[in-house]
Amino acid sequence: MTEDIRWQQRFENLSKALHRLREALQGTAREPDNHLYQIALIGAFQFTFELSWKTMKDYLVYNGVSVSLPRDVIKQAFHHQLILDGQVWIDMLEDRNLMAHVYQEQAAITAGKSIRERYAPAIEQIHKDLLKKRST
């Protein structure tokens, strides 16, 4: 019963984080050369990604799948068809790890492009699908 509550509570936090990611995406769309918006986008992505994989983990545990590490969660989420493209999520994990340790302007620009074009849509997909599961 605690797992049921946990994944739904974590989902609420994911929804709030996703809202912030959307705001950062809008900011960088308006002012693509604004370095503060780029930093905000990367930061919003990092905590939204973190909440995404942890929400997936809690949902999998609720459904009887024992996982703990992010890479294992991603593999099991793909296996159980919770996510559509496992490689995008593995790329997100690797990029999140790189972004957490180094800030270089060119890397930030590249990361921003990946967040806009690949990562945000994948996060939107898991959010939408979990929202449906939460309602049923």
How far lies 84's CA from each of 79, 104, 111, in Å? 9, 31, 21
Type of residue found at 106 = Q
CA pair distance 58, 108, nearest whole angstrom: 30
Exposed/middle/buried for residue 66 (C-beta within 10 Å: 0-12, 13-18, 19+)? exposed
Question: Would you give the distance in Å from CA 90 to the centre of its chain?
Answer: 11
Q: How many CB atoms lie within 10 A of CB 115?
A: 27
Q: What is the pLDDT of residue 104?
A: 73
Q: What is the pLDDT of residue 108?
A: 77
Q: What is the pLDDT of residue 77?
A: 97
Q: What is the pLDDT of residue 3?
A: 55
Q: What is the pLDDT of residue 24?
A: 96
Closest CA to 129 of 3, 18, 30, 2: 18
DSSP classification of residue 84: S
pTM attached to this predicted model:
0.92
Tell me the residue ranges of DSSP E strands in 1-87. Answer: none
CA pair distance 35, 61, nearest whole angstrom: 39
**All structural domains of the chain:** 2-135 (1.20.120.330)
Note down pLDDT in tens along the chain; length 136 residues. 555 688 999 999 999 999 999 999 999 999 988 889 988 999 999 999 999 999 999 999 999 999 999 999 999 999 999 999 999 999 999 988 877 766 677 777 888 899 999 999 999 999 999 999 887 7
Q: What is the pLDDT of residue 22?
A: 98
Q: What is the pLDDT of residue 48?
A: 97
